[in-house]
Amino acid sequence: MDSTIYSNLTTGNAYSTEADAQASVVGLYSILDGEGEFFGYYNGMFALVTEYGTDVGYSTKAGNPSQMTTFSYQPGNGLLLTNWNSQYRLVTGANTLLSKIADLEVAEEAKNQMIGQARFLRALAYRDLTDAWGPVPFITEEIDPDLVEDMPLTPVDEIESFMIADCEFAIEHLPEQWGTSEGLTRATKGAALTLLGKIYMRKHDYANAKIYIDQVLEMESRGIYRLNPDFKNVWSGSNKLDEGMVFGILHDAARRPTFTSLHFGPADNKDIPSRWSYYGISLDFWRKYHDDDPRKAFFWYDYEGSTPRGDGSGYGLFYKMPDPGENTPPNDTTILLKDVTTKKYTYEMNSKSEWDDRTIIIFRLADVILCKAEIENALNGPAAALPYLNRVRERAGAPLYGVDARFPAPGNQNEMADRILDERGFELVFEFQRRPDLIRFGKLLDVCNAYIENYLGLNVRLTENNIYFPYPFQDTRYNSYMRAENEKRIVR
């Protein structure tokens, strides 16, 4: 019996029309959420290389998550490989589209918009790769896979030059907003401005960072973006497109679902049952929130579970946030939590099924405002940064610096930098920020070593060699440069 061929598309013939090219652009966005894995890359897995290996991420799950929690990760860690592969798939997809679209007969504006999106996404992928691994093999065009073997590692500053050019093109050609027919969460000018500002901040070039971050805030002044007055509502399941979202991934439970709430939800909770609690936050970090900061309550703790107590009462086991030093449950129906889960990805869920329609936010206005605080502190000192720091705290309902007597205004740039770093942790916890933030502020080693010693009680210590993760073992088999570098990158 002969098979019916419904499609015979290849990279050679799939770019004959504008519709083909647009479909390829949409395919690039699908890589951001794992290409059908439902929890890949920004759909959850990326948190394991941004929040873990810091004082934030904590998992009780055995294997790869536990290795990240205890800083015992090795080149064979599957989570490192999954993220590495996702990011290079995005680079490869963008390079392929860019090589095919140049000669396509399409209106110039439409072509430039497609190119701008591909270049933005390629820059984002390389930003994420270099945040985690530093120097990496750098590929900007279609390449024979055989030529990738033993490819040298390109220094970060050289890669950044290309990322900057990619973002500049995107800024020039992407619209401020897309219409419904094009897709509401495509990359925009604001997304490219934000990424470029962050790239310059990573370089500690705050003068250039200010140019681009200020443009995003100017767009806010014109109503393109808006800071939601209720920080919790940013994460409501019914708030699919928060006005403060600069760039994100939109999901539909019926057509493009996600497992996000399944991974971020608390295990054994009566209100939202059957979650996995795969991603947790250390109790040490949670306790750093001030009791008068409403964001401290935006976590799942002190709750009744679904598991019966076994005493005939009809109640479930009680999961308690332990007091510092409390190691013994007060009774046999209480479980002391070992970590705490954020409500960001389970707040006001539309469905309690394992499939959900959660929007994943990659860039948002509160982050941009805190970037502005960091920039102003570096360029003009703490007084210039204070209004931006307090703006985010005021929206959250937290005590304000220089207003509440318990929170004196930082008196110098170093003090203000510490407060901004703290605030980024409180506001942006589990939003793919912590490890890059700690590295940029020069605090990764101090913060993590203190956490390892005083909270985890482990006999390991990070050094300058551990600022970047070891390269995945699967790729080091074909790259002597990465094998040699990995000799130094194992935490000991």
**Given a cut of 50, is residue 244 above it in pLDDT?**
yes
**Given a cut of 70, is residue 12 above it in pLDDT?**
no
**Given a cut of 80, is residue 75 above it in pLDDT?**
yes
- Over range 335-363, report the average pLDDT: 92
- Over range 119-128, report the average pLDDT: 98
Nearest to 358 by CA among 429, 266, 256: 256
- Over range 129-140, report the average pLDDT: 97
Identify whether the C-beta of residue 423 lies closer than 8 Å to the C-beta of residue 389.
yes
User: Residues 270-302: pLDDT tens digits?
Assistant: 999 889 888 999 999 999 999 999 999 999 999
- Over range 407-435, report the average pLDDT: 98
Nearest to 100 by CA among 120, 114, 121, 110: 114
- Over range 24-37, report the average pLDDT: 85
**Given a cut of 50, is residue 6 above it in pLDDT?**
no
d(CA 369, CA 364): 9
Q: Look at residue 35 in the predicted model and tell me its pLDDT.
A: 66
Q: Look at residue 4 in the predicted model and tell me its pLDDT.
A: 42
Torsion angle in degrees (nearest 10) through CA of 81, 82, 84, 85: 110
Split at pLDDT 50, 70, 90, the class of 118 is: very high
d(CA 49, CA 86): 12
Give the C-alpha distances (Å, rounded to integers) separating 363 from 225, 246, 263, 450: 12, 5, 21, 29
Cβ contacts of residue 251 below 8 Å, gap of 6+?
33, 257, 258, 260, 356, 357, 358, 359, 360
pTM metric for this prediction: 0.95
Beta bridge partners of 249: 360
Identify whether the C-beta of residue 31 lies closer than 8 Å to the C-beta of residue 90.
yes
User: Residues 297-340: pLDDT tens digits?
Assistant: 999 999 999 999 988 899 999 999 999 999 999 999 999 999 99
Q: Look at residue 427 in the predicted model and tell me its pLDDT.
A: 98
Q: Look at residue 7 in the predicted model and tell me its pLDDT.
A: 40
Q: Look at residue 13 in the predicted model and tell me its pLDDT.
A: 59
Nearest to 195 by CA among 316, 363, 310, 335: 363
Identify whether the C-beta of residue 448 lies closer than 8 Å to the C-beta of residue 53.
yes
Identify whether the C-beta of residue 31 lies closer than 8 Å to the C-beta of residue 93.
yes
Identify whether the C-beta of residue 46 lies closer than 8 Å to the C-beta of residue 54.
no
Tokens of 164: 């900057």
> Token match 């985010």: residue?
392
Q: Look at residue 15 in the predicted model and tell me its pLDDT.
A: 77
With b meaning 16 or more CB within 10 Å and e meaning fewer, what string describes 291-308? eebebbebbbbebebeee
- Over range 60-83, report the average pLDDT: 93
Identify whether the C-beta of residue 392 lies closer than 8 Å to the C-beta of residue 366.
yes
DSSP-H helix ranges across 174-282:
189-202, 206-221, 260-264
User: Residues 188-206: pLDDT tens digits?
Assistant: 999 999 999 999 999 999 9
Mean pLDDT, the chain, rounded, equals 93
